[in-house]
Chain A
Amino acid sequence: MDHTSDPHAARYEIDPERLDLALEFRSNPSGPYGPELSRLVHRMRWGAFPGRYLLLTIEPGKRWALAQMPDERGEKVRVFHDVQFDSLDDAEWHVFQLRWKAITGRDLRLPEQARRR
């Protein structure tokens, strides 16, 4: 299998203690990222489509809803209409937190000061 077809080709262990990387992402969700955060984000974004979070356009260029791919071609896309964003950066941060939890098994809890920004 070639590299860009293998869902398991991304190799990086996310350290749940590295909140500094989460803070870096939150301050600049669109990148470009530093070298270590690049590896972390690469690990999060690489993989097979089942369960992948993405966005459904509600108003082009203005508003998006959180969505999730199903397990098979032909199945329904899951759309979370109660989770909408008017900023793509906010959407990136939301999904970053979901993936952090899914991969590390821990909620992403930032220091209080950072959460308020």
Chain B
Amino acid sequence: MIETNAVLGYPDELSVRAGERITFHLSSRFAKVDAKAVLLRCVDADANGPGIKYVELESPMDGVHDVAWHEVPAGSCAVVPEDARLVPRAAWSIGGYVWATRLTDAPQTLLARWSDEAAAGYAIESSKAGVSLRIGSDRGPLVVSTSKPLLERYWYWVQATFDQASGDMTISHTRLAEGTVPAKTVTALATHQGGWKLDSQGPFTMAARPSTLSPLVHTGHFDGKLEAPRIATGIHSIEALQAVDAMPRPGVVDARLVAMWDFSIGIDGLDVVDRSANRLSGTLLQLPRRAVTGVRWTGAVHDWRLDPTQYGAIHFHTDDIYDCGWPAAVTLDVPSTWRSGIHALRLRPLDENGRRSHGRAPPDREVDLHSGQARSARGEQAVDAIEADASAAETFITFFVTPAAGALKAPLVVLAATMTYLAYANSALRLHSVHFEVLTEHLMVLTPDDVYLQEHPEIGQSTYDHHIDGSGRAFSSWRRPVMNMRPRSTLGNLAIDSHFTDWLEEKGIDYDLVTDVELHRQGAGALKGYRVLASLSHPEYYSEPMMNAVMAYQNDGGRHVALGANGFYWRCNFHPKAPAAVEVRRGMAGTRTWESRYGEVHLAGTGEPGGLWRHSGFAPQKLVGVGFDAMVYDHAGYYRFTPGSRDARVAFAVDGIGEDERIGDFGVRIGGAVGIEIDRLDHDLGTPLHAVMIATSHGLGPGALPTTEEFRTTVHGLEGDQNALVRADIVFFETPEGGAVFATGSISYVLSLTCNGYDNNVSRLTENVLRRFLDETPFEMPDV
């Protein structure tokens, strides 16, 4: 078994143009690694398929590089730069609204200007023991607590006051009335005299506090929402400090107000704006969630752009992670002569003697590799997952090379679904969900990367997973170690897609590669000049620029071979101010592993509605003729031709395949070409009227389950053995200017390509279509 995480890392960008630079940011307990770039042909390690295939590439980067250990700085917060005006004067009051989502024994920081190193400053914290105010002094930190914890997911007003002259410290929390639960205030008072250490010499922070100031590292993170924190000189009643919210009339400025951070300003950005005259604005770190309902949300508005004041909260999580911020350890200037494709940085840690390591960290630095002795129900011996028989250590970090500027283009371009890979990045759904084994009807099979994910949640999971406080994860970033987009990873997404690149290599069909990032940033320009576009097994996540770019390509004579299913499904976007992250709002429909809270369906980054493209008037059927209808995780099916296959317009596709053949009743791992997730034709949802259904699925059973948006009420007979709408369709249609679309309607379709030495009817059908699509002879669109 290969140890795949002795070195962790990520690229600064997921894709790089040949001739340009990419950097890799690494962390390891080993001091040296041997680095080599490779061009991947297949990344699927399954011994029943083509296996991992790659070629090594020469570059000046080859060789040994120094690495160091770096922590993952998980947990989001807001930071206001150090400013003397935030040191309390004679007397002051501080308060804000709080909606806690996970109370812990350890205090979580709400608002603070505190230094752990100097034990100086002040901090308001929340824990299972209550809400407390902590102030530094010569005698150590002085604390006053309400001794009563907040209720999770209830709005509170939290306020502290401090009077140096009297030595009075107060802390209170006021639960706001909610339904039949009345408002209630709990207050605590303590008095201490003199010796105050009020100046932390550091920043003011929200939802965390500094553990060290140089480098600035945070700890004590908070799970929950904060809204409208403010500081005022003087001792104020709860009502008076809350009233600072009121928008002042022109020329009315209360000089006692030190700061009042209004999170409803700049919801699409990463700044927290101070509305006071002091302008003590700050910055968000590690991408907490904005565009969430605040204490003033009425339910009348669901789009934050219509009334940002109803969205004045920010939801922080202790396990938010956007950018690990590790220094670059390897820099690769990609030679302009390199072909485009799926690439990886292969890293092999070296021991103290410069020899290839077997995966164990040097003994004096060994951490986290202890043996977990335990016994099963039958008494078998349990040991550490990876250490037991690690025979070698090797890590791949995937990146994508796109064609050099001005390079001669291949006629075919493969579109790597990086937005989807990102949405799934570090998915631990299989590990933690209640239902997954029932869905698949098989024991779950883990890779060493899955084990690492379970044991190291700090690297952050995918948009399929939940935060530790139970809320859905709306962001996923590539600037952190990503486990499942590389050789030996979990066998989905890129592993499946690479069966097609392997097949192209076997068939000797030349291709270029671009990714969703280029499609999103350049629009249709990313596809310009290519005769054929191949989208792969599961291009599920699409931004509006990407949807429109593919449609424009098709309408300008482009030919699109859509080789997957459940594509073009979720409306999402890269965050404009955090461009390495995809933002997903699940909405309240569709096959979803979590649901947006009411009022929180619109994206923070762009304001557009999340949810399904189907519910934004652009169902996938409108783009490629088929759209998601069912999941088939247990037993795969196959296709048979329909009467439409006799249409002369598709004769090129079916050539050489018997009319009665079962098409794809075989396939790597899944066992059939119709499986995992499947799509069907639907004119009501936008399939062009002139589309030809060439084939449709057979052999699906009760484990073929329709997606929830496909039925409006539960009834008997929804499953695939009884429901004619649970099926995969293969369709073809012509587009303007001589273009065409061929769509296969099943994720597992490409897993059949390589069977029987690449000689089978799925391979034949695909090659027939691809060869015709590569022919410049225009398709003639019927009169529609």
Contact = CB atoms under 8 A, between A and B. Distances in A.
Interface of A: 2, 4-7, 9-10, 30-32, 41-42, 45-49, 52-62, 64, 66-70, 73-83, 88, 91-92, 95, 98, 101-102
A107 to B, nearest CB: 10
B437 interface: yes
Given A60-B488, A67-B446, A76-B385, A98 B377 contact: yes
Contacts of A92: 442-443
Interface of B: 1, 45-49, 372, 374, 376-378, 380-385, 388-389, 428, 431-435, 437-438, 441-448, 451, 454-457, 468, 488, 491, 595, 634-635, 669, 701-703
Top-3 shortest CB links A-B: A61-B47, A60-B45, A78-B382
Contacts of B457: 73-74
B47 A62 contact: yes
Given A41-B441, A53-B443, A57-B445, A77 B385 contact: yes
A79 B443 contact: no
12 contacts: A2-B595, A41-B441, A49-B432, A56-B446, A57-B447, A60-B46, A66-B380, A74-B454, A76-B384, A77-B454, A79-B451, A88-B442
A35 B156 CA distance: 51
Given A30-B441, A32-B703, A82-B380, 9 more contacts: A7-B434, A42-B438, A56-B446, A61-B47, A73-B428, A74-B456, A76-B384, A76-B455, A77-B455
Contacts of B435: 4, 46
A81 B388 CA distance: 8
Contacts of B432: 49, 73
A12 B236 CA distance: 60
B378 A5 contact: no
A32 B721 CA distance: 12
Given A7-B434, A42-B438, A49-B432, A55 B443 contact: yes
B465 to A, nearest CB: 10
B172 to A, nearest CB: 33
Contact of B381 (A10, A64, A81): A81
Contact of B451 (A30, A45, A61, A77): A77
User: B1, B374, B384, B456 — which one has the most chain A CB atoms within 10 A of its CB?
Assistant: B1
B447 A5 contact: no
A13 to B, nearest CB: 17
A75 B488 contact: no
Nearest to A83: B380
B434 A48 contact: yes
B47 A81 contact: no
B143 to A, nearest CB: 29
A74 B319 CA distance: 12
B434 A47 contact: yes
A75 B455 contact: yes
Contacts of B377: 98, 101-102
A48 B381 CA distance: 23
A49 B431 contact: yes
A41 to B, nearest CB: 7
